[in-house]
Every structure is written in structure tokens, then in C-alpha cells.
Amino acid sequence: MVSHLRMSEPKPKKPISSHRWIFGYLMAEKAIFLPSLAALFFTAMLSLAFPWFLKELIGNPTDALKDGVDPQQVLAKSNRVVLELIAVLGLQAFIAFFRVQGFIRSGESALNRLRRDLFAHLVRLPMRFFHEQRSGALSNRIAADLGVVRETLLTTVPQAVRQSVILVGGLTFIFIASWKLSLIMLGSVPLVVLAIAFFGRKVRGYSKAAQDSLADAGTVIEETVQGIADVKSFTNEPFESGRYGRALESFFGVTMKGAKSRAAFLSFIIFALFGTIAFVAWFGAHMLANGEIDATNFVSFILFSIFVGASLGSFPEIISQLQQTSGATERLRELLDAQPERTDGDAEVKLGGALAFDHLSFRYPSRPDVQVLEDLSFTVEPGQRVALVGPSGAGKSTTFSLILGFNDPDVGSVRFDGRPASSLSLQALRSQIAIVPQEVLLFGGSIRENIEYGKPGASLEEIQAAARLANADDFIAALPEGYETLVGPRGTKLSGGQRQRIAIARAILADPRILLLDEATSALDSESERLVNEALERLMQGRTSLVIAHRLSSVRHADRILVFNHGRIVESGTHDELIDHNGTYRFLVDTQLL
Ligand SMILES: Nc1ncnc2c1ncn2[C@@H]1O[C@H](COP(=O)(O)OP(=O)(O)OP(=O)(O)O)[C@@H](O)[C@H]1O
Ligand SMILES: [Mg+2]
């Protein structure tokens, strides 16, 4: 209840802009970032030397020749100018070598810290956060957003600095060359550039829509490949192909809409931009003819104009990238602002093994209309074995999730040794509770690592001992690579019974005070079942255990059986008592639903 309230509090207003937030990450690397930035300023200014020297080369000799000066002198000057140019280029190249590395180093370090922060925060978010996400959507979104931020830090920021320097420097030089011609140009070209930026925005809008629609088509592939066994077994290959075809058609439609804008955009550029340039050149030629500008300055003007134009042309792209980054960082910060699980409560608590639900009611926040648990009360003594039975959807797994503190009750409380769970540290609680889930998912990694998950840092001997108790040692030893066999998504496939025994070994290693067992609904063959049952028997020894049971064999020996129906406990007692009672349990047993 407490943390539930905390979660729904309005988010605090963000004190700083997204760009400054990201910049903060960069500034943590300032020892490398700032010198790289300074070097970038310097090399960007040096890059203006190129048109400068070209102008000297092209402009001066012609002037000189006109005045009837010795061609030898012109040649000597050309040689000097070229040598100087080469020296400047060499210096620029030398600095660039370190500057580029500096930017990558500071950018990637900043990104790595951001990635670490995000991940560390993500794993601390409450279960309900993950329930509200579409599977795969979250990781895809984070990856895409980080991609945008990465592009900005490594490419756009240096680009923006560089182009700004060139723009300002270039403008200075063209004004020096001829302020009159500069004003003419500034009067006409920016209008065209603005128009291009406006058009470009529209075109990008379409290309974004096209990307999204292509991503939808990608989702069809992803879903199909993931569920390929189902696709094949239902012979739904044509259905999936059809689905993909339709997604592609819709992508095509969006693309063609964009194509028209794109074509218009290009035609416009060709005509308007180059037309304007022609106009300015024409005007300059007139000035040249009237002696209002000399040849050197005219050449200088044209060369620097090309640089200014190119840098101006790169700004729409830079601005759009910065806008995208704004969106991406906004989403990343939202994630970082999401309230993590509580970290308060008694962290030193040692569980005695008693457990109680006290008039507990619960609904999933994502489905507030369904009362999943209603006024649930029961107590479990230390070391007792309690079975939870009942139809599908009755609330058994939900009961476990409340014990683990994945969800908080709306009303009532969970108590450990009489103390409310909310007064205990989640970390301390969970470290003394182990769960063997209904569907065991193994992590990508070796069998050894998967068992070690129960107690990080356990020795191989401990792991093997646990595996022996879990009846898993034999089949593991029979695998060619034994404990080092890779399992999980991209490793050796294990059978359901084998996976369960690995989960049991993991729980044995964790040595919990309270054990939660969500029995597999899928039937195991009798030999597998015997091995699993034997292992479970050992695991439950001396611990409080709650078993969600789907087999009569597992409930027979329970100290108590709780029969769930529609989120309530409708009956409780031992097997014999409940059989005599002639109620729901008796019905489940008689109809062999158990
Ligand atoms: N994350 C969730 N968000 C919303 N509703 C949920 C969520 N998990 C379960 N439910 C709903 O809560 C109810 C109880 O589900 P629960 O998983 O506890 O049933 P169960 O008794 O374990 O069933 P089964 O025997 O099939 O495993 C169901 O109606 C289910 O649809
Ligand atoms: Mg369940």
C-alpha cells in the first residue's frame, strides 16, 4: 500500500533540459572531452585555410599577370603558397588524429555510464512496471533511444561545433572580400535555405512514418520466427506470409506518399538554390566588370561562399538530429525517473519461517476491475508444508508474488514471524525465500552458472553437491561438456524435468528459509517425475514450504491444503479432512483434476 501510493505521486518537474542532462554525462569526461573540443575549434578554423590558400593561388597570379609581372615570381609565390597549405593540412591532420579518438573515448565512456545507470535502475523497478510493458518493446525502445543519443554524442555534437566555426569564420571572410556582395547573398540564399529546411522537415516526417511502418513489418518476422513451432504445427505459413505482405504493402504506400514530397524537394533545390547562386555570381561578375571588386576578392568570395553554403546546408540535419535526441533523452529520463522498488525496512531480519496473510485483498494495477485476491487469511507455521490447489486463475501464483513482495496488497498484509512485510527489507526477505517456478527459464550460460545463480560465488563443489541433491548430477555428468554445457536460449535444450531439477539445485544452493514451489502443469514421464519428486522432498526438508500443486501425490502429504477459488480460500484442512468434507477439494480429486 505504502509504495503503491509512492508510485502514483506526480513526477517532479525536470529541473534541467534534456540536452544539458546529456551534456552532464559528457562533462564527467571533461579531462578528455574539453581538450578534444578545443582541438576541434582549432582544426575547424584551420580548415578555413584551405579556401584561403586556394584564393591566394588562383586570385593573385591572375592579378599579377595582368600587371605584367614576371611569371617566375608568380610561380615562386605559388610554390610557397602550396607548401604553406601542405604544412597547414599536415598540422590539421595530426591534430584530427587525436581529436577524433578523444571524442570517441569521451562519448563512448559517457554512453557507457548512461547505459550502466539505466540498467541498474531498470532492474530495480517494481514488477508492475514490467507487467505494463509489451515484451520486447522496452528493450527495443531503450536500444533505439540510446542509438540516437550515441549518434548525437559521437557525430552530431562535433559536427555542430565544426560547422558553426566554419560558418562564422567563412562569413567573416566573405564580408572582408566584399560586404556589398555578401549582403546580396545573405539577402537571397538564406531564404532558400529556410525553404529547404521547411521542406526537408516534411520529407523527414514521411520517412519517419515509413520507418515505423517498416518496423511493423519487422515485428511480423520477429513474432513468426519466435513462434515458428506454432506457425508450422498450425500450418499457418501462408497466413504469416500474408500478414507480412500486407505490412509491406502499407510500408510501400507510406513510402510512395513521401516520394512525391521528396521529388518536389529535389526539383526545388536544383532550381532555386543553384538559380540563386547563379544570380549572386552574375551580380559579382558585374561588380568585377565595374571594378567594384578585384579578382582575388571575387575568387575569395566564391570559395568561402561554397564553404558557408555547405555548412549552412548541414544545419537542418544537425537540428533535426538534436530534436530527435531531445525525444530520446526525454524517454530515457522518464525511465530513470520511474520510482524503483523500496529499499527501506529491516535489512538484518532472520526469518523464522512463519508466514501469514492477514485479511489481504489485491487487484493488479493494470486490471483494477478484477478482484484477484479477496480477504485472504491463512497462517503457516515454521517448517510446515502447505499445498495451494484450485482452478486456473484462482490466484495461486498471485499469492506467491505477494509473498515475494512483487506486488503490494491493497488491503491487509503479509506477515513474516508476525512482522508486517512492509517493515522488512525486500532484499533481506527475498534472499531467504526461494522459488521453483512453474515454467523454468534458464539464462544463457553454462549449467554451472545457472545453478550458481542461487548463491553467486558458490564453489564448484557446492554446486555439484546441490545438483546431486536435486537428482541433476547424473544427467549433467552425462552431457559431453558436463557442468560447462551451455543452456538457455542459444544452448543445449534441456527437457522440462531436467530444467526443473536445475531450478531445484539452484534453490538448494540458495538454502532458503521459505520455499515456494509452483508445480509444473505439464506432465512429466513417471521416471522424471520420481526424480523431481525425490529432489523436491529433499529440498523441502526442514523449511517452510508452500506448494502450488497440480498432482494429488504432492498434496497428500501436505500438513495443510488451501483450496483457492476466485481469489478466496474456500476450504482448508488435511487431505483426509477435505475428502470427508465433500466439497471443492473432493470434487477436484474425484474428477481427477488433481
Ligand atoms: N500481471 C498481471 N496483470 C493483470 N492480471 C493478472 C496478472 N497476472 C495474473 N493476473 C490475473 O489474476 C488472476 C489470478 O492469476 P494467477 O496467475 O494468480 O492464477 P493461478 O491460480 O496461478 O492460475 P494457474 O493455475 O493457471 O497458474 C487471473 O485472473 C489472471 O488473469
Ligand atoms: Mg499460476
Q: State which ligand 1 atom lies nearest to the alpha carbon of 388.
A: 21
Using CA atoms, how far apart are residues 432 and 193, in angstroms rounded to an integer? 66
What is the separation, in whole angstroms, between the first and last Cα of the chain?
Answer: 35
Candidate from 376, 389, 398, 563 with most ligand 1 atoms within 8 A of CB, to mutate:
398
| Predicted pLDDT at 433 | 94
What confidence tens digit (pLDDT) does each residue in 204-226 have?
Answer: 777 778 877 887 888 888 888 88
CA of 392 to the centre of ligand 2 (A): 7
| For residue 8, pLDDT beyond 50 | no
SS3 86: helix
CA of 220 to the centre of ligand 1 (A): 27
Confidence of residue 425 (pLDDT cuts 50, 70, 90): very high
| Predicted pLDDT at 7 | 41
CA of 364 to the centre of ligand 1 (A): 9
Share of the chain above pLDDT 90, in %: 45
- As for ligand 1, residues whose beta carbon falls within 6 Å of it are 131, 364, 366-367, 370, 372, 392-398
Helix, strand, coil abundance in the chain, percent, nearest 5: 65, 10, 25
| For residue 69, pLDDT beyond 70 | no
| For residue 9, pLDDT beyond 70 | no
CA of 133 to the centre of ligand 1 (A): 17
What confidence tens digit (pLDDT) does each residue in 357-416 have?
Answer: 999 999 998 889 999 999 999 999 999 999 999 988 999 999 999 999 999 999 999 999
Q: Tell me which residue of 512, 515, 509, 450 sits closest to 479, measured CA to CA.
A: 450
What confidence tens digit (pLDDT) does each residue in 225-265 have?
Answer: 888 888 898 889 999 999 999 999 999 998 898 888 888 87
Instruction: Report CA dihedral (169, 175, 181, 184) to the nearest 10 degrees.
Output: 70
Q: State which ligand 1 atom lies nearest to the alpha carbon of 438.
A: 27
Angle between helices 18-27 and 295-337 (to 10 degrees): 90
